[in-house]
Chains A and B, each alone.
Chain A
């Protein structure tokens, strides 16, 4: 009872500095956990987001751009794939499934992608998971001006089955670039927590033949999503398209290519982590400064405790426990900061990419970070605790008569 009482009363007596210091620690702790969780989850989720495909075939260019465009629906298409090339890959014996994609239009900022209805009927976007359409809806017909909206896009645009819309030309929304074609929404996809949710899907021909598009490119596609029969097929097609050919790019495997992106931006993670570590150090330093500065005011209390029979190690432990308690308080509030920050960042990532980060995910950093913070704070408490340890009882209580 003694130690908790001493710590509690001391924290109460110095409530303002306790709150300010714990606030700093909460910020540091929350920031550290958020940086770490966003980094690890984003990397894991992005590299495992393949929409069920092993590879992407596209125009000659960057593999990363091709994957970002075809799987994540980000970036512009690096160019077109001729109808003959699409037919060739579709009929290739090593290919299990080939789904064409065509891009180039949007609906108020949300990308329109032309594709084959088989994408929604035959493909598992994740192991054991097929696309499902909300009750009352259906997949568009291949030759109709119909649309199937991703859940996030439908929610943001307020689309429902039966609505009609006119697409806008280009990947960025320009109100003056409206096409004259009317599309009818036939279905809304259930959320998949993948980039598919941010897209409005229409038939391939619907996009190729959109009014105002170049008729010469009316049979071209932007990319082809591929499922391979065997992993060996990936190596052989890589040799065929990337090393021996010079017109097309074969991006394989999709996850490894996205991992390259994270490799390229690793320095940014490191900078963020460094900032978070510095904030943590500053927070621990503030514990030291806060308690140390109040030691003059506490000397008398400590001397009284010693006069009552408290040992030096008891007052040392009390100050150390107080520092750790401030750390624990900060770490506890740090979880609120973490959840707030993470929810914000996850919201932005979802809005921009359709990828969903899991707020409830567990990771060792969620206990290592708070414990390390408490440890750091306790470490910061050593100097004032030592000062408490050395408090001269008789001299502090009364001058020598």
Chain B
């Protein structure tokens, strides 16, 4: 489902030269597999997910999703692939504040293959327990509910791969457990692979497959000139 090979990303450093953030030689994720990566803040794990999602262009290396080499595609084709095959759950949810709950999900769907299917959006929101809040705006929801909208949005297109970046980072312990269970459950139901990054040991502990991003990432953020 996901194959990452020699993926590299660096940024210009304030002192001159460049800082390498990501240098992953190889990473694989099978269809339907759920894997958690442990990573501290600043370890480059968000950049890694952004590279996989194609919202950042890599300096070098390959990202292959469901048989398509994302890194070889033009930007519009990357956008299309992202809309078709990926669901992205952000730590800060990134809901569109001026849109209702159902509109957030509909917009997520509208760029994908099935288009804005209102019935399916409602069904997804019902699945995450928000069937009665369709016309609310995000600011009218609790933090936990907002996260559930983000989950519904990420999974509404029946993606092949779900990326979750510290999805419980803004939630208390109870909501964190609920959200995590929901993400894993719904991903499983939809047949999507899940790649979750977190620094929370309790979250990581629920995954059978987990590894250290630090061990995966060879960059160590050394300065190269």
Interface residues of A (CB under 8 A from B): 1-2, 5-6, 9-10, 12-13, 300-301, 304-314, 393-394, 397-398, 400-401
| CA–CA, A301 and B98, complex, Å | 9
A5: min CB distance to chain B, Å = 6
| CA–CA, A12 and B100, complex, Å | 12
**Chain A residues within 8 Å of B108, by CB:** 308-309
| CA–CA, A5 and B88, complex, Å | 22
Q: Does B53 contact A (CB under 8 A)?
A: yes
A318: min CB distance to chain B, Å = 11
A-contacting residues, B1-57, CB 8 Å = 11, 21, 41-47, 50, 53, 55-56
The 5 A-B pairs at the shortest CB distance, nearest first, are namely A309-B83, A309-B111, A13-B98, A2-B110, A393-B55
In the bound complex, do residue A9 and residue B98 qualify as a contact, i.e. CB atoms below 8 Å apart?
yes
Beta-carbon nearest neighbor of B75 in chain A: A312
Do A2 and B107 form a contact, CB below 8 Å, given A306-B79, A307-B88, A311-B76? yes
**Chain A residues within 8 Å of B43, by CB:** 401
Q: Does B116 contact A (CB under 8 A)?
A: yes
**Chain A residues within 8 Å of B165, by CB:** 398
Q: Does B94 contact A (CB under 8 A)?
A: yes
In the bound complex, do residue B56 and residue A9 qualify as a contact, i.e. CB atoms below 8 Å apart?
no
Q: Does B194 contact A (CB under 8 A)?
A: no
Beta-carbon nearest neighbor of A308 in chain B: B108
Do A1 and B111 form a contact, CB below 8 Å, given A301-B96, A301-B98? no
**Chain A residues within 8 Å of B116, by CB:** 1-2
Number of A-B contacts (CB under 8 A): 91
**Chain A residues within 8 Å of B91, by CB:** 398
Q: A307-B82, A308-B153 are in contact. List 10 more A-B contacts (CB 8 A).
A: A1-B106, A300-B94, A301-B97, A307-B90, A310-B79, A311-B80, A393-B55, A398-B165, A400-B47, A401-B46
| CA–CA, A159 and B90, complex, Å | 81
A-contacting residues, B78-118, CB 8 Å = 79-80, 82-84, 88, 90-92, 94-99, 103, 106-108, 110-112, 116
| CA–CA, A393 and B50, complex, Å | 9
B73: min CB distance to chain A, Å = 12
**Main DSSP-derived SS at the A contact region:** helix
A-B contact pairs, 20 of them (CB 8 A): A1-B106, A1-B116, A2-B111, A2-B116, A5-B103, A9-B103, A304-B95, A305-B111, A306-B79, A307-B55, A308-B83, A308-B88, A308-B108, A309-B108, A310-B83, A311-B111, A313-B76, A394-B56, A398-B165, A400-B47
In the bound complex, do residue A309 and residue B106 qualify as a contact, i.e. CB atoms below 8 Å apart?
no
In the bound complex, do residue B92 and residue A398 qualify as a contact, i.e. CB atoms below 8 Å apart?
yes
In the bound complex, do residue B76 and residue A401 qualify as a contact, i.e. CB atoms below 8 Å apart?
no
B102: min CB distance to chain A, Å = 11
In the bound complex, do residue A304 and residue B47 qualify as a contact, i.e. CB atoms below 8 Å apart?
no
In the bound complex, do residue B112 and residue A401 qualify as a contact, i.e. CB atoms below 8 Å apart?
no
Beta-carbon nearest neighbor of B44 in chain A: A401
| CA–CA, A87 and B193, complex, Å | 108
**Chain A residues within 8 Å of B56, by CB:** 393-394
| CA–CA, A191 and B146, complex, Å | 69
In the bound complex, do residue B79 and residue A305 qualify as a contact, i.e. CB atoms below 8 Å apart?
no
| CA–CA, A397 and B56, complex, Å | 11
Beta-carbon nearest neighbor of B45 in chain A: A401
A-contacting residues, B93-150, CB 8 Å = 94-99, 103, 106-108, 110-112, 116
In the bound complex, do residue A394 and residue B50 qualify as a contact, i.e. CB atoms below 8 Å apart?
yes
In the bound complex, do residue A308 and residue B90 qualify as a contact, i.e. CB atoms below 8 Å apart?
no
A197: min CB distance to chain B, Å = 56
B168: min CB distance to chain A, Å = 16
In the bound complex, do residue B55 and residue A400 qualify as a contact, i.e. CB atoms below 8 Å apart?
no
In the bound complex, do residue B94 and residue A397 qualify as a contact, i.e. CB atoms below 8 Å apart?
yes
Beta-carbon nearest neighbor of A304 in chain B: B94
A240: min CB distance to chain B, Å = 80
**Which of B21, B41, B94, B112 is the one whose CB lies under 8 Å from A307?**
B94
| CA–CA, A65 and B116, complex, Å | 71
In the bound complex, do residue A10 and residue B79 qualify as a contact, i.e. CB atoms below 8 Å apart?
no
Do A307 and B53 form a contact, CB below 8 Å, given A398-B90, A401-B44, A401-B46? yes
**Chain B residues within 8 Å of A10, by CB:** 98
A300: min CB distance to chain B, Å = 8
Beta-carbon nearest neighbor of B9 in chain A: A400
| CA–CA, A12 and B99, complex, Å | 10
**Chain A residues within 8 Å of B82, by CB:** 307, 309
**Chain A residues within 8 Å of B99, by CB:** 5, 9
**Chain A residues within 8 Å of B21, by CB:** 400-401
Beta-carbon nearest neighbor of A395 in chain B: B56
| CA–CA, A312 and B91, complex, Å | 24
| CA–CA, A13 and B100, complex, Å | 12
| CA–CA, A393 and B49, complex, Å | 13
Beta-carbon nearest neighbor of B118 in chain A: A1
**Chain A residues within 8 Å of B96, by CB:** 9, 301, 304-305
In the bound complex, do residue A394 and residue B110 qualify as a contact, i.e. CB atoms below 8 Å apart?
no
In the bound complex, do residue A5 and residue B98 qualify as a contact, i.e. CB atoms below 8 Å apart?
no
**Chain B residues within 8 Å of A313, by CB:** 76
A181: min CB distance to chain B, Å = 76
In the bound complex, do residue A1 and residue B98 qualify as a contact, i.e. CB atoms below 8 Å apart?
no
| CA–CA, A9 and B55, complex, Å | 24
